[in-house]
Every structure is written in C-alpha cells, then in structure tokens.
Structure 1
Amino acid sequence: MPIEIKELHIKINVNEGSKPSAATSTQKSKDEDVVAECVAQVMKIIERKKER
C-alpha cells in the first residue's frame, strides 16, 4: 500500500546575531547533500509511477 504525504512541516531556528563559521559551512554542504539525495529518490519514485 503506497504512502501519501499530504503535509510537510519544516521547522528551522535562525540566529540573526551570529556569524557563520567554517563548521557551519561544512554542515551546510552535508545538509545540501542530504536534500539532494532525497530529491533524487523522490524523482525516481515519480518516474516509476509514470511508467505504470
């Protein structure tokens, strides 16, 4: 049975007064890699659905 996601809640915290550090930029690239992988997997699922 397929799972359908109807809502997606994203919560972030923003620190306006802080300066970005090297560790933050490293974390950002890791986060971007995770997001890119998720997008790729979703696109594969969509393509498989179209084939049916």
Structure 2
Amino acid sequence: MPIEIKELHIKINVNGDEQTNASPNKQSGGKAEAVIKAAVEEVMRIESRKKER
C-alpha cells in the first residue's frame, strides 16, 4: 500500500558567519537567494507533476 504525504514541514537554522569557510568580504545574500530560488522551482515542478496525475 503506498504512503501519501499530505504535508511536509522543513525547518532550517541559518547562522551568520559561524562555521563557514567563505571569506568575510564576500556577500552571501546572492548564494542564499540562489538556494531559495532552486528550492521554489523544485517545489513548483513537483506540484505540476502531481497535477498531471
């Protein structure tokens, strides 16, 4: 019998400059935005696949 997941909650903690190997003069805002954009695109792709079924 297949399992259907109706809700998925993901919680992450992002700490400023702790435990990072990036140099302090680089801006990490662009990198965070790229990760968020990729995650949103993946969620939208999954949602569109669900609608096709």
Please state which band the TM-score falls in when normalised by the shorter chain: 0.5 to 0.7
Question: In structure 1, what is the Cα distance between the partners aligned to 2:14 and 2:39?
Answer: 18
The runs of 4+ residues in structure 1 deviating greater than 2 Å are 1-4, 7-14
In 1, Cα distance between equivalents of 2:30 and 2:45: 23
Q: In the TM superposition, what is the alpha-carbon distance from 1:13 to its structure 2 partner? A: 5.6
Matched residue, 1:18: none
User: 1:9 is matched with which residue: 8, 11, 35?
Assistant: 11
Identity, % of aligned positions: 37
Matched, 1:39 2:40: yes
For these two proteins, the number of residue pairs brought into alignment is: 43
C-alpha RMSD of matched pairs (Å)? 2.3
Deviations 1:12-51 (A, max 9, x none): 568xxxxxx852x3x1001100100000000000000000
| Structure 1: unaligned runs, 5 residues or longer | 15-20
